[in-house]
Amino acid sequence: MGSTNSTLLKIPNVEVLMRETGFSPAHIIRLHDRFKALDKEGRGYLCPQDFGAIKELAMNPIGDRIIGAFFSPGKETVDFHTFVKILAHFRPVDKDRPKEPNSPEPINSRSNKLKFAFQLYDQDKDGKISRDELLKVLRAMLGMQVTEEQLESIADRTIQEADLDRDDAISFEEFRKSLEKVNIDHKMSIRFLR
């Protein structure tokens, strides 16, 4: 590691990565450092235990789900590219990006941020948050501090208000609609320095 150029050269397909995610070269290098710091055995990829070793994450009530978001179904490892792409969801929205009709939606768009949050709830990836899945999230966030009945009543109320087509589950569209007024950009973004 030395000058920015020599480090960037060591990362394969870094141009594509920067274009897709919108991270600057300096960000990529710092994320690469972080990736290497987490990858203690230097294998070139991360597995769930490497994330589990981050103490602050282990204390987070939904820490496991966040870790799960990095691993596509069936995969046990995450490489640097995927790592960066997932973190790109949390870049602040680019307000001055021109709206090109043919280019793919940027990873950090409002919609994609919502999709990321949606998958934290929807663990079986069937496109809907069932009552059961909602209960599981509530249990994770509240632990043993509330009774089963209280959880059920919270879940019931939430579904009642968000579920517009009365199928007792919350689809992505219903999820999006219920969060219309929330400032997603502010809540689901991290300020990257420099």
Partner 1 sequence: MGPFMSPFNNLLCMLLGISFTVWFTLLLVFIIVPAIFGLSFGIRNLYMKTLLKVFEWATVRMERGAKEKNHLLYKPYSLNGIIAKEPTSLEEELKGIRRNGSSRDLNGSASTTTGPSPSSSEFEMSDTFYFCRRGIESIVDDEVTKCFSAEELESWNLLTRSNYNFHHISTRLTVLWGLGVVIRYGFLLPLRLTLAITGVSLLVVFTTMIGFLPNGSMKNFLSEKVHLMCYRICVRALTAIITYHHSENKPKNGGICVANHTSPIDVIILASDGCYAMVGQIHGGLMGLIQKSMVKACPHIWFERSEVKDRHLVAKRLSDHVKDKSKLPILIFPEGTCINNTSVMMFKKGSFEIGSTVYPVAIKYDPRFGEAFWNSSKFGMVNYLLRMMSSWAIVCSVWYLPPMSRQEGEDAVQFANRVKAAIARQGGLVDLLWDGGLKRGKVKETFKEEQQKLYSKILVGTQEDRSRS
Contacts with partner 1 by CB under 8 A lie at 1-7, 26-27, 29-31, 33-34, 37-38, 51, 53-63, 66, 87, 90, 116-117, 120-121, 137-138, 141-146, 150, 154, 157-158, 161-162, 170, 175, 178-184, 187-194
Residue type, 193: L
CB of 100: closest distance to partner 1 in angstroms?
28
Residue listed under structure tokens 């087509």: 165
CB of 156: closest distance to partner 1 in angstroms?
11
Residue 36 or 97 having the CB closest to partner 1: 36
DSSP 84-153: HHHHHTTSPP-TT----SSSPPPTTSHHHHHHHHHHHH-TT-SSEEEHHHHHHHHHHHHGGGS-HHHHHH
CB of 13: closest distance to partner 1 in angstroms?
21
Residue type, 130: S
Residue 33 or 126 having the CB closest to partner 1: 33
Residue 43 or 157 having the CB closest to partner 1: 157
Rounded-to-10 torsion of CA 175, 70, 76, 138: -50
CB of 118: closest distance to partner 1 in angstroms?
9
Residue 96 or 149 having the CB closest to partner 1: 149
Q: Which residues contact 172 (CB under 8 A, 6 or more apart)?
A: 114, 115, 118, 127, 128
Residue 106 or 176 having the CB closest to partner 1: 176
Q: Which residues contact 181 (CB under 8 A, 6 or more apart)?
A: none
Residue 47 or 62 having the CB closest to partner 1: 62
CB of 61: closest distance to partner 1 in angstroms?
5
Q: Which of these, 155, 181, 182, 177, lies nearest to 165 by C-alpha position?
A: 177
Task: Give the separation between CA 183 and CA 187, rounded to whole angstroms.
Answer: 6
Enter the tokens of residue 13.
Answer: 């397909």
CB of 162: closest distance to partner 1 in angstroms?
7
